[in-house]
Amino acid sequence: MKLLLVSNGNLAQGLYMAMEHFYYKPDIDYIILRDSDKKEYIAEIEAYMKKNCMEDILVLCDAYGSTAFNEIVVLINKLERTKSVGVICGMNLPMVFKIYGLKDMWSLTSIKSFYKNSEKQGVIVYSPKVKKDRKFLLKINIPI
């Protein structure tokens, strides 16, 4: 399973750099959204998803409802990867460490289930539902 960190600003990069202090070249990827390059961010995410189309991908995102999160959800639906790409929001360093240790032993479904009831701690697992996704996509002006 691939692990991708995404954020508005440098959080994803900072978490990756923290992981480098403990693991030599950790098998984690990150993509950050800066204010001025939304199109570039979308292109990077889309290229990443297409490059890793045969693998499950777990995306850890900074915040539910952020632009980084919204664009991930749009692309997951556009590329029809709702079953092979999971998104967990509220990423933090302990979470990245834990998931990094589990990613090759647990399935995408197992990791999502583990965090499913963590909303009180600020962690939200994105769970696609046809009705919910349709309303969400229409709300942010994506034709379906």
**CA angle, 16 then 17 then 23, to 5°:** 80
β-strand partners of 37: none
Strand partners, 110: none
- Pick the range with the lowest mean pLDDT from 19-23, 78-82, 139-143: 139-143
Amino acid found at 115: Y
Q: What is the pLDDT of residues 123-134, one digit of tens each?
A: 888 877 644 555
Q: Which residue do the tokens 């070249």 mark? A: 25
The upper half-sphere exposure of residue 60, i.e. CA atoms within 13 Å in the direction of its Cβ, equals: 29
d(CA 133, CA 126): 10
Rounded to two decimals, what is the model's pTM? 0.84
Rounded to whole angstroms, the Cα distance separating 115 from 125 reads: 7
Per the structure block, which two tokens stand in for 61? 């995102």
What are the structure tokens assigned to 124, written together?
A: 């939200």
For 75-105, the pLDDT digits (tens) are 998 898 988 999 999 999 999 999 999 888 9
Q: What is the Cα–Cα distance from 27 to 3, expressed in whole angstroms?
A: 7
